[in-house]
Amino acid sequence: MKPASQPKKTAITPTRGENYAEWYQKVVRAADMAEMSGVRGCMVIKAWGYGAWELMQRELDRRFKETGHDNYYFPIFIPLSYFQREADHVEGFAKEMAVVTHHRLVKKDGVLVPDGELEEPLVVRPTSETIIGESMSKWIQSWRDLPLLTNQWANVVRWEMRPRILLRTVEFLWQEGHTAHETREEALTETKLMLEVYRKFAEDYLALPVITGEKIAAERFPGAESTLCIEAMMQDGRALQAGTSHYLGQNFARACNIQFQNREGNLDFAHTTSWGVSTRLLGGLIMAHGDDDGMKMPPRVAPHQIVILPILREDSPKQEVMDYCESLKKELQAEMFDGQPLRVKIDVRDIAGGEKRWEWIKKGAPLLVEVGPRDVEGGKVCLTRRDQLGAGKRFIARNEFVKSAATELAAAQKALFDAVLAFQRSRTVTDIKDWAAFESYFAKDADNSFTAGQGFVRAKWSGDPASLAKLEPLGVTVRCIPFDQSGTKGVCVLTGAPATQEVIFARAY
């Protein structure tokens, strides 16, 4: 996180300091993780981005199963009438729904047009509470059928008016957990448990330290009684909501008729929850870890943790270098990191060595290993650790490298986490006590918060919804009521009224 003024040639132009928003777009592209498609607001997730997503899926899926959840798959289409059952819910999503109205195309005057109008339009799911509720109402009869713990991996569609790649796209991939319980307490326990799964995952796997807390009423999921969240800080000081877990009360049970005979023999509505994380995490990874040379992929989600680059010169013995690389790869694959064999790739493409090296730096492969004829002779490798790019290359003995590779990965994973945590702390202010200070903090150079040094303001808020109007001109929102509260008495930073509760204020993605 060098100051932008330092004159240095960087792989990404503009730098973060010059234009953070454009830097982000450039890194997504340079790391070859995703690109916008020809279809409005929809993206193509490419191999390097999808590979990271698959690793996230595998780990989250393991944690979901460990906590007793089974995977199901529910229809992508939701009849319009299902939505109308929960008033807040439909209100929250109606403006951004893709609607299927016809079931075939026919040629009219040589042009294909929609035909076969549906009796009831179908909505492409923006989220699945209502369609899953429909199934739950059939499956749940008695308390013996509870808890019902489901999850699905799926695509969802929300017609975003201002799409931003990976962060806010018309179609995205996610998982959505949906559970039903006998009591409020049980459902709340589930809601907290899954948020904790997300927190651990974000911190351990994505190297993304997060704030855990509850959303204020105005920021809740449409139809929820309580929304818990993890909020991460990006390098421009903005918040990214990285995962949410909702206690839905009996709202959806009433709407979908999820009724059961309880232990006392009476009919009761189930208490339901839902929770999800999405491919926006890929965007969060970039904005938290990337630098002016591109992406830095945390080793635990790097599709290739080690990339070997054979240096093949016309005048030198290619076969020996290749053999050396192949056997090095095998040795590395016999080593374990995080309970998995190391993920190693040899890049054999026939392009210039320097270009290849910079491609992998921009993609953020954690360890780069260059092998030329002299390394083969000397039994060495030339190592670059992406998170220590400034430290340059290291020549080390091959055997030593193989033995230390997993340790290097662990160190890189930790270094990324530590850097983001230190940044988050340095950009969180707790000494803003009144509106004047608040306003001036968020006012300075709002267009370039990367250099302006803004971030999270942790301050007291009275809870008065009317006071939130003051935030609008600043583009600031209440991100959450953090779980850890001091409990001290003070005054509301927006109104000066007495207040005990602390919240996080920030601009957000």
Residues that bind a second copy (CB under 8 A): 37-39, 42-47, 50-51, 53-54, 70-80, 82-84, 90, 94-107, 112-114, 116, 121-124, 131, 134-135, 144, 150, 154-155, 157, 159, 170-171, 173, 349-351
Report in angstroms how near the CB of residue 248 gets to a second copy at its nearest.
20
Report in angstroms how near the CB of residue 282 gets to a second copy at its nearest.
11
Report in angstroms how near the CB of residue 361 gets to a second copy at its nearest.
20
Report in angstroms how near the CB of residue 356 gets to a second copy at its nearest.
13
Q: Which is nearer to a second copy, 130 or 424 (CB)?
A: 130
- Nearest-angstrom CA–CA distance, 285 and 51: 14
Report in angstroms how near the CB of residue 89 gets to a second copy at its nearest.
12
Q: Which is nearer to a second copy, 151 or 448 (CB)?
A: 151
Q: Which is nearer to a second copy, 169 or 273 (CB)?
A: 169
Element (H, E) at 155: strand 148-157
Report in angstroms how near the CB of residue 249 gets to a second copy at its nearest.
23
Q: Which is nearer to a second copy, 171 or 292 (CB)?
A: 171
Strand partners, 127: none
Q: Are 378 and 268 in contact (CB under 8 A)?
A: no
Burial (Cβ within 10 Å: 0-12, 13-18, ≥19) of residue 75 = middle
Q: Are 105 and 112 in contact (CB under 8 A)?
A: yes
Nearest to 300 by CA among 353, 267, 342: 342
Q: Which is nearer to a second copy, 150 or 245 (CB)?
A: 150
391 — phi, psi (to 5°)?
A: -75, -10
Q: Which is nearer to a second copy, 114 or 473 (CB)?
A: 114
Q: Which is nearer to a second copy, 134 or 214 (CB)?
A: 134
Q: Are 489 and 500 in contact (CB under 8 A)?
A: yes
- Nearest-angstrom CA–CA distance, 429 and 502: 12
Query: How far from 314 is each of 311, 318, 358, 372, 463, CA to CA, in Å?
Result: 10, 8, 21, 12, 71
Strand partners, 179: 149, 273
Task: Give the side-chain half-sphere CA count within 13 A for 90.
Answer: 14
Report in angstroms how near the CB of residue 223 gets to a second copy at its nearest.
16
Report in angstroms how near the CB of residue 323 gets to a second copy at its nearest.
20
Q: Which is nearer to a second copy, 82 or 360 (CB)?
A: 82
Give residue for tokens 């635990």.
300
Burial (Cβ within 10 Å: 0-12, 13-18, ≥19) of residue 185 = exposed
